[in-house]
């Protein structure tokens, strides 16, 4: 473990690949591994890319990575792919969608399976970002499965969220009302050479202005504010925040990509100068702790259920009206609650 971490920190890509594999497969010792590299994180700029299927996310990410390399920056890309129903692995392969960067060792690309996570993101993704950060990548790009209500998970991992919208897609623009609108820091109308591009830009601009006016933003990713202890997301305050940019691109022809990167850089500068980056970091770690606690408690109780004869035994008793679901829950959680109470009282 120590040798692997030393190789990771010294910039060996083979060690980086091994670390991410351990993280993704949740192999024995991966938690200690992530814990030890944590102190070496906090330097990478993490960019989340989401958008409806067919909006050109993969093509744009490919061009972004190439442009970052032209600017002398190193890049790590995590592409979250749908999970195979048979193996649980990523359906799409690593290099299929990153043709511009084949052979460039300073662009590390990894496909990861969504593994059933509703938002297309899992705890493994957050840990893999830490590995890329500790390795020394300047930019880490996370490409999500698609766009929808559950894709707001990306805000819990990325410093800057970029939303792609294809032109002439009224339904996609309407969909943004479901939650994506509030988390987008930069909106990109890709395939801007197609009909309807100007209209889509105008619709986005109107929706952003409307959200800042009569209807208060619920996600609050754009402005400085306080932490919501229930959801762990940033809530907007009266303080002046970030006004999301709208950029038009034709990624396949490399048009507008530089403008996208400039807009992302402006947002990164805003995060640093406003103090928002520090608040984001605190919010993110609070949410990560909650997630890990939920997962650990769930595993603990699942093991106890199996130890007591399995779920079927409890279901049999409930069906026979010998007990009820609330009583079963109390019986399972009760000992854990007692231990926590005793520890608190010491």
Whether pLDDT at 334 is above 90: yes
- Pick from 29, 37, 15: nearest CA to 108: 15
Q: Are residues 119 and 180 in the same domain?
A: yes
Examine the fold and report which residue of 214, 247, 274 is the final residue of a domain before the chain moves on.
274
Least confident segment among 46-55, 85-94, 193-202, 320-329:
85-94
Mean pLDDT computed over 193-219: 69
One domain, residues 269 and 311: no
**Boundary-marking domain end, from 220, 244, 274:** 274
Stated pTM of the model:
0.83
Are 270 and 304 found together in one domain?
Answer: no
CATH number for the domain harbouring residue 167: 3.40.50.300
**Domain contains 103:** yes
pLDDT tens-digit series, residues 72-108:
999 999 998 765 444 444 445 444 555 566 667 799 9
Rounded to an integer, the average pLDDT of 185-194 is: 90
- 10 Å CB burial of residue 219 (0-12, 13-18, 19+) is buried
Q: Does the pLDDT at position 239 exceed 70? A: no
Same domain, 85 and 173: yes
Percent of the chain with pLDDT strictly greater than 90: 53
Tokens of 242: 């970030």
Whether pLDDT at 177 is above 60: no
pLDDT, residue 82, reads 64
Which of the two residues, 215 and 193, has the higher pLDDT score? 193
Give me the residue label for tokens 């944590």. Answer: 38
The residue that leads in pLDDT, 166 or 225, is 166
Q: Is residue 14 part of a domain?
A: no
Q: Do 131 and 248 fall into the same domain?
A: yes
Please provide the average confidence, as pLDDT, over all residues in the chain.
82
Asked whether residue 163 is assigned to any structural domain, the reply reads yes
163 shares its domain with 202: yes
129 part of a folded domain: yes
* 257 pLDDT higher than 80: yes
Which residues does 170 contact at the CB level (< 8 Å), separation at least 6? 203
Q: 52 and 174, same structural domain?
A: yes
Mean pLDDT of 321-331: 95
**Nearest partner of 180 among 217, 142, 214, 134, judged by Cα:** 217
The phi, psi pair for 269, rounded to 5°, reads -65, -40
In this prediction, residue 174 carries a pLDDT of: 60
Does residue 18 belong to any structural domain of this protein? Answer: no
- For residue 240 the two structure tokens come to 């002046």
Residue 225 in this model has a pLDDT that exceeds 60: no
Q: Does 8 reside within a domain?
A: no
The better pLDDT of the pair 46, 178 is held by: 46
Residues 332 and 243 in one domain: no
256 with 307, same domain?
no
Is residue 132 situated within a structural domain? yes
Write down the pLDDT at residue 80.
86
Residue 228 has pLDDT above 60, yes or no: no
Weakest mean pLDDT among 27-31, 131-135, 202-206: 202-206
> pLDDT tens digit string along 119-173?
446 788 999 999 999 999 999 999 987 655 446 678 888 999 999 888 875 555 6
CB 181 within 8 A of CB 85: no
Higher pLDDT, 213 or 107: 107
Domain boundary among 215, 240, 274: 274
Task: Give how far Cα 254 sits from Cα of 67, 94, 249, 251, Å.
Answer: 9, 21, 8, 5
Would you state the pLDDT for residue 300? Answer: 93
What is the number of domains present in the chain?
2
| Total count of residues recorded for the chain | 346
Q: Is 229 found in the same domain as 165? A: yes
Band (201; pLDDT cuts 50, 70, 90): confident
Instruction: Give domain status of residue 16, yes or no.
Output: no
Q: Answer whether 229's CB lies under 8 Å from 287's CB.
A: no
What pLDDT is recorded for position 26? 87
pLDDT for residue 94: 42
Task: Report the 3 state secondary structure along the chain.
Answer: CHHHHHHHHCCCHHHHHHHHHHHHHCCCCHHHHHHHHHHHCCCCEEEEEEECCCCCHHHHHHHHHHHHHHCCCCEEEEEEECECCCCCCECCCCHHHCHHHCCCCCEEEEEEECCCCCCCCCHHHHHHHHHHHHHCCCEEEEECCCCCHHHHHHHHCCCEEEEEECCCCHHHHHHHHHCHHHHCCEEEECCCCCCCHHHHHHHHHHHHHHHHCCCCCCCCCCCCCCECCCCCCECCCCCCCCCCEEEECEHHHCECHHHHHHHHHHHHHHHHHHCHHHHHHHHHHHHHHHHHHHHHHHHHHHHHHHHCCCHHHHHHHHHCCCCCHHHHHHHHHHHHHHHHHHHHHC
Residues 254 and 299 in one domain: no
The pLDDT value given to residue 342:
92
225 shares its domain with 178? yes
| Domain of residue 335, residue span | 292-345
Per residue in 33-68, pLDDT (tens digit) is 999 999 999 999 999 998 877 788 999 999 999 999
pLDDT (tens digit, 9 = 90+) per residue, 272-292? 999 999 999 999 999 899 989
Instruction: Please check the confidence at residue 118 and state whether its pLDDT lies above 80.
Output: no
Range from 5-14, 48-57, 74-83, 233-242 carrying the lowest mean pLDDT:
233-242
Of residues 199 and 232, the one with the higher pLDDT is 199
């Amino acid at each position: 473990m120590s040798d692997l971490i030393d190789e990771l920190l010294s910039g060996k890509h083979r060690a980086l690949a091994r670390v991410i594999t351990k993280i993704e497969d949740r192999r024995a010792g991966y938690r200690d591994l992530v814990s030890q590299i944590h102190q070496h994180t906090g330097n990478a700029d993490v960019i989340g890319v989401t958008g409806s299927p067919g909006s050109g996310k993969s093509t744009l990410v490919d061009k972004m990575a190439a442009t970052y390399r032209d600017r002398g920056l190193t890049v790590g890309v995590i592409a979250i792919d749908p999970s195979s129903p048979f193996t649980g692995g990523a359906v799409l392969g690593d290099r299929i969608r990153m043709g511009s960067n084949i052979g460039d060792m300073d662009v590390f690309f990894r496909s990861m399976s969504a593994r059933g996570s509703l938002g297309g993101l899992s705890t493994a993704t957050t840990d893999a970002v830490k590995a890329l950060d500790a390795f020394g990548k300047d930019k880490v790009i996370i490409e999500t499965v698609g766009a929808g209500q559950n894709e707001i998970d990306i805000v819990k991992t990325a410093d800057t969220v970029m939303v792609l919208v294809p032109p002439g897609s009224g339904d996609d623009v309407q969909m943004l009302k479901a939650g994506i609108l509030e988390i987008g820091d930069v909106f990109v109308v890709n395939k801007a050479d197609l009909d309807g591009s100007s209209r889509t830009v105008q619709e986005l601009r109107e929706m952003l202005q409307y959200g800042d006016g009569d209807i208060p933003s619920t996600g609050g990713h754009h402005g400085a504010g306080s932490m919501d202890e229930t959801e762990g997301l940033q809530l907007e305050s009266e303080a002046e925040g970030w006004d999301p940019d709208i950029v038009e691109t034709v990624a396949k022809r490399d048009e507008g990509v530089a403008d996208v990167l400039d807009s992302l850089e402006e947002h990164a500068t805003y995060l640093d100068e406003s103090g928002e980056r520090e608040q984001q970091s605190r919010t993110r770690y609070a949410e990560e702790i909650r997630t890990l606690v939920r997962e650990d408690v769930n595993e603990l109780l699942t093991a106890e259920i199996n130890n007591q004869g399995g779920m079927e035994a409890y279901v049999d008793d409930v069906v026979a009206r010998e007990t009820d679901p609330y009583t079963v829950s109390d019986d399972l959680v009760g000992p854990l609650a007692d231990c926590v109470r005793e520890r608190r009282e010491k």
